[in-house]
Structure formats: structure tokens, C-alpha cells
Chain A
Amino acid sequence: MNNLLNIDNLYVKVGEKEILKGLSLQINKGETHVIMGPNGAGKSTLANAILNNPEYKKTDGNVEFEGENINNLSTDKIARKGVFMSFQLPQEIPGISVLNFLKFAKGKIENKPVKIFEFRDTVNKYAEELNINPKMLERNLNVGFSGGEKKKNEILQMLVLNPKLAILDETDSGLDVDAVKTVSKGIGMYKNNDNAVLVITHNMRILESLNVDYVHILVDGKIAKTGGPELIKEIEKEGFKKYKTTEP
């Protein structure tokens, strides 16, 4: 089967507020999708809903992954099925090093013990590609990391955990030119014909080096338009104005 993610007519509430209002989206293996949309449109909500963050309540519709309904599956199980999310604001977790955390998480995801020497080599190799100082691997997870270090660390986690679907929520925002390049290099290293990536971004630059298949405009809790890479240019010129139905 080629289909990875299939979202059908999804409604999501946060608290009393309805954020997603009938959103549908299909992602197949090998594809690179981009979601763009104004602030507050519901992009992060979509990512959180896919991973079933309990704060985000699905009131209607379905999320399927590889043909299985994952609406109510717990987040860790969804992760173990191969869905990964790079956070807009990664959490700081003291008391565990990046390396030990990755090893622990990898063991959980693969459901088997990790061979430490091989594993360390793999992590080191990716870290080098991402210009991550090896010392960072010994530091407590995200604790005191700069914004850029946190985002690179998310990409490192993506590479190491090697999911089937990676959702990157504004991984490029707030980064300098070099760091954006590093992030897109990481995405390039990750991407192959068997997996897929969903990039949520405002930044046109990150898209230049990616082979984008589909661009979705998310406005007011729905996909207002889906197109090819040409949509990026259009948005760059004209913004989201013409897709907005109501003013927030």
C-alpha cells in the first residue's frame, strides 16, 4: 500500500474553540507536502491532532495511518507506528543526555534493545552532518539550548528515529540562513521513496532545496487550496488574503 496518512473531514476543538473544521489530507509514500497558512489558522493544531495530543479533541472525522484508524491511539503508540513531529517549541528535559534519550526512545520505537556502539556511531555521523557539536549530545535534552540548537536537535531526532512520516512544525522559523540550510539538508538526508514529510512553514527559503510535491493552503481550519510548488510563489506575492473567508 502506498498511502501513509489519510485525514478525512477532521474537526478538532481546543477547549471550547473549534479550530479544525472539516480538514482532509492524503499523504503517500515518497511525497513531500507543505502546509502554509496565516498565524492561528490551525497548522500546529493539525500536527497535534495527528499525534493525538489529549489537549486537542477530535469531534468528527478520521485520521488513518497505513489504513488504520489512529483517532484514539495514544501518542506513544502513534510514534511507534512511525509518525514523528518536530516541535515548534521543544521541551527541556533535565537529567537525561541527548544521546541517552535518543537511545531510550529508539529502543521504544524499534521495540528491541539498541546496540550502544553502533548507535553512537550513527548518532555522531548525523550530528556531524547537522553541524551539531558532539558535546551537545552529552548535554541534558534541550536544557539551555539556543533556539537553533533545539531545532537542529529535532532534526537529529528525526534522522535517528527514522519515522515513516515526519511532520515538521515551523522547524525553520527563527533560524539564521546557515541553520535553515542545515535543516533542509537534514530533511534531504531523511527523505526517500518509502517515507514522507509534511513541512509546516512560513519560510520560502527552506523549500528551495526540497523537492516539493504538494502545497496546501490552510485557512480557517480547512485546506483552502492544494496545488504544486507554484503555489509557494503565489503566496509569496499575494499572501493568504484571497483564501480568507472570515476575518479572525
Chain B
Amino acid sequence: MSKTKIDEINRNVYDIKNADNYDFKMEKGLNKQIVEEISKQKNEPEWMKKIRLNALETYNNLELPTWGPDLSDLNMDDLATYVRPKSKLNENWEDVPEEIRQTFDRLGIPEAEKKSLSGVGAQYDSEVVYHSIKEDLLKQGVIYTDMETAVRDYPEIVKEHFMKCVPVTDHKFVALHAAVWSGGSFVYVPKNVKVDIPLQSYFRLNSPESGQFEHTLIIVDEGASLHFIEGCSAPKYNKVNLHAGCVELYVKDNAYLRYSTIENWSKNMMNLNTKKAIVGKNAQMDWVTGSFGSRVSMLYPLSILNGEGAKTEYTGITFAGKDQNLDTGFKVIHNAEHTSSVINSKSISKDGGACTYRALVRVNKNAKKSKCSVSCESLMLDDISRSDTIPVNDIRTNDVEFSHEAKIGKISDKEIFYLMSRGLSEEDSRAMIVRGFAYPISKELPVEYAVEMNNLINLELERKHRINFND
């Protein structure tokens, strides 16, 4: 995460496992007793327990998606939905138990906090173990805390927003999430407050045969602005782990929210995540996403442009290697006049990995004078990898500017020859080209993550010696 780690960073950082030392681990499976037990363990109010139990019913009534990657290896009977770490919520890193703290140290979180963040949340398995926010933001009324605290301290705000942006009935894993959710961050930025330095929440899943179901709820009030960063990783186990988080974002009139994600789950992870934003008048919602990890991902963030003049931009890159099937994309609904969306997606696949760009652009009848431009490019590094583009465009008015561009390609031999004629080895040349392909996306990521992403690319290209071309 930090610049100084350029040369040492390697997969090990993500792969170091701690012993499965928990304070409480729910028995495997999913049923009413288990959901009630989670609620009891968390000592929650009755209304939240009701939401959970209703969601469980919805879950039982919904079918698995009939499209997309194969999910047949996922069996809820093999997973523990709640694992409470041996740590309470802390405000000082010193108070976080040694073993857990070391994990976040290795990931560079406390260091990044000192340098470039104005607040940090860190979740380990099912609970947040650390949360902090700078004094001056507190004074301006900014709230940044874990979801459990929010349920306890701000019940009215939570009731009004929780599972309202993402309805429980959306799909099976949203219902699952609502039934067993735990952890995650809550952010409220009051009217006209500009949070100039980002907040970051990091999610680490250590426990084998378990799931992580954190809930992130962010409200950026009128005229306010925020950059929120989300990171996630897990060490690799032989059996399936599940991540079914949910992110609900409310961007009020004239507000700005940038939501950056670097996802580096281990390759036994089923990542079935849901993210949505409701965007108000003249407000802007920007998504920046780098997806590298997981065995299967199904993730399609959605911006609903509800206010006149609302804007959204999606900038995302997906990198699928051996045994990975990453099905990602973006959805936007234009639901008011003069709204605009810019979608810029790239994918890289290698060693038999599969990337699918699955997207929806809907322009409603009332969204006259709107603009939408979509560009998706994929790069396949060999002949056994796959790349697909499945865009759905549902445009219900004529008064709209729409453009769509899709390219699927391979590294050209001409480019390799050009670079090699300047003394670069074939390996260096390929890495340089892949980085160049990713660059328009990586330059949008926070600096540390851009560095991390380049390192991940290098790792993925199985380089023996890592080089930083730009230093």
C-alpha cells in the first residue's frame, strides 16, 4: 500500500493466514435460528431483527441467477455466516490485538492513515476492529463509524436508508446479505461539508469456510463532497469463502461522491457483491474499481440518476487469471433530464481466465437531453483466455446522445518488437504494454492503490523481478 513497499510487496502480504482464532464462530448453515442468533450476538434492536428475518424469507423464495458464472460450488451449509474476532472496536491501533493489528500493518493501513487518509475503518472477519476519524471532520459534523454503532446511535437515519437503495428483493444474495449482514461502515457528510482527504475502509476475511457480509451506507448531503476508498483481501483456502457485501450510496443534490475500490480477494472467494447509488439534482457519483481477486465475481454497480443534471462516471478494470471467472460491469438508469453517464471499462484475461463485461444502460422516457458514452476494451494475453461483452441498452427516448465502443484485442507483436528493439526483454515489453492498457484506469485510483495495482499486474504476469518503469 505504501510507496516504500514497491519492491517487497508480493502475494504473501495478502496470503498470510492467521490462525482461526475467533471469539465466536457461528455454526455452519443458514436458517431462522442462525439469523436470530446473529441478531442476539449483536444485541440489536427488534426492528433490525425483523428486517433480517423477513430477508431470510425472501432469500428462501428467490432462485439463483440463471445466467452468469457457475455458482454450484456455493453451499450455505458449508459456510459460517458470522465470525466475531477476538477484538472489540478500537480507536487506537495499539489497542487492537497484536495478531490482527499485524495483518493490517502488513497491508499498510495504519501507515496510509497517517499519510493520506482522514479516517479509517478496518474489519476483520465479521466485525470492525478499528475505526477512527480526524478531529476536524468530527467538528464539522461528519459521522464515520461502523454499521453496528450506526444502528445503535442513529436508528432513524439507518431505518430511513438501510436496504432502501438496494431492495432486499433485488436478488438472492442481497436477501442473504440483509439476513446475515455484519460490520461495514456508515458515513454521513452534512450539507456543504467538503471532505478533502479520503476515508478508507478495509475488509479482511481471515476465517476459512465463512462469509463476509459487511454493509456500507454513505449519505453525502446537499452540496457536500467525499472520496471513499474501499479495500478488501483474504488469504487463500482450499474451500469456498463467500463475500456478499452491500453498498448503498445516497448522493444528494449538488453533492459529489467518489467511491474507489481495490478488490483483491483470494482465489477461493465467491464475490457476489451489490452496490448502488441514488444521485440527486446536479450531483455527481464517480466509481473507480479495480478487480483482481476472487474465483467468481458478480458485481455490477448501479447509478440511478434521479435528479436533473445528475452525472455519473464509471472507471473500472478487471484482471482475471487462471481459474477466475470475473463477471463485472456497470449499470446506469437515466431518470431525469440532462443527466449524463460516462463508462470506461477495461479487462485483462490470461491463463484461461474469463472476463465478462455485463452492462445495462437505461434511459427513461423522462430523461430527455441526456448523454451516455460507453467504452469497453479487453485484452487477452493468450489463446486460452476468454473475454465477453454483454451490453444491454434500453433507450426509451429519442432525445439522447448515446455512443458505444467495444474493442477486444491481444498484445500486438508489432508493439513487442518495437519495445524489444529498444533493449527491453519480451517480459518487460509485455508488462509495459499491459500497464499501459491499464493506465487510464490506474491513474484514477488513489496513488497507493495505483502502485499496488501495478504490482498486482506484475505478479499476475509472473515476473521474477519487479520493476517500476516510472521511477
Chain B hits for A161, CB < 8 A? 422-423
Complex CA–CA separation, A96 to B415 (angstroms): 14
Given the contacts A94-B436, A95-B435, A51 and B421 also touching, CB distance less than 8 Å: yes
Q: Among B423, B439, B440, B442, which residue has its beta carbon within 8 angstroms of that of A108?
A: B423
How far, in angstroms, from A96 to B435 measured CA to CA in the complex?
Answer: 9
Asked if B47 CB lies within 8 Å of chain A CBs, one says: no
Chain B interface extent, by class: 20 to 34
Stretch at the interface among A64-72, A74-82, A211-219: A74-82
* A174 part of interface (Cβ distance < 8 Å): no
* A100 adjacent to chain B (CB < 8 Å): yes
Interface set, chain B 408-429, CB cutoff 8 A to A = 412-415, 417-426, 428-429
**Is A54 engaged at the interface, CB distance under 8 Å to the other chain?**
yes
B437 at the interface (CB under 8 A from A): yes
Q: How far is the CB of B328 from chain A (nearest CB, A)?
A: 21
B418 contacts A87, C-beta separation under 8 Å: yes
Is the beta-carbon distance between A100 and B469 smaller than 8 angstroms?
yes
The answer to whether B422 and A96 have CB atoms under 8 Å apart is no
On whether the beta carbons of A54 and B415 are closer than 8 Å, the reply is no
Asked whether A75 and B432 contact (CB < 8 A) given A55-B413, A93-B415, A100-B469, the answer is no
Residues of A within 8 A of B422 (CB): 79, 101, 105, 108-109, 157, 161
Beta-carbon contacts under 8 Å, B165-212 to A: none
Q: Is B423's CB under 8 angstroms from A96's CB?
A: no
B425-A96 in contact (CB<8A)? no
Q: Does A145 make an interface contact (CB < 8 A)?
A: no
Q: Is A84 an interface residue (CB 8 A)?
A: yes
Q: Do A80 and B423 contact each other (CB < 8 Å), given the known contacts A94-B436, A96-B469?
A: yes
Q: Which residues from chain A sit less than 8 Å from chain B, CB to CB?
A: 48, 51, 53-55, 74-76, 79-80, 84-85, 87, 90-91, 93-97, 100-101, 104-105, 108-109, 140, 157, 161
7 A-B pairs with the lowest CB-CB distances in the bound complex, closest first: A95-B436, A95-B439, A108-B423, A75-B420, A91-B418, A94-B436, A105-B422
Known A76-B429, A94-B436, A105-B424; further 10 A-B contacts with Cβ < 8 A? A54-B413, A54-B417, A79-B423, A84-B421, A91-B412, A101-B469, A104-B467, A105-B422, A140-B439, A161-B423
Listed by A's residue number, 16 A-B pairs whose Cβ atoms lie within 8 Å are A51-B421, A75-B417, A76-B424, A76-B429, A91-B412, A91-B419, A93-B415, A95-B442, A96-B435, A104-B428, A105-B422, A108-B423, A108-B425, A109-B423, A140-B439, A157-B422
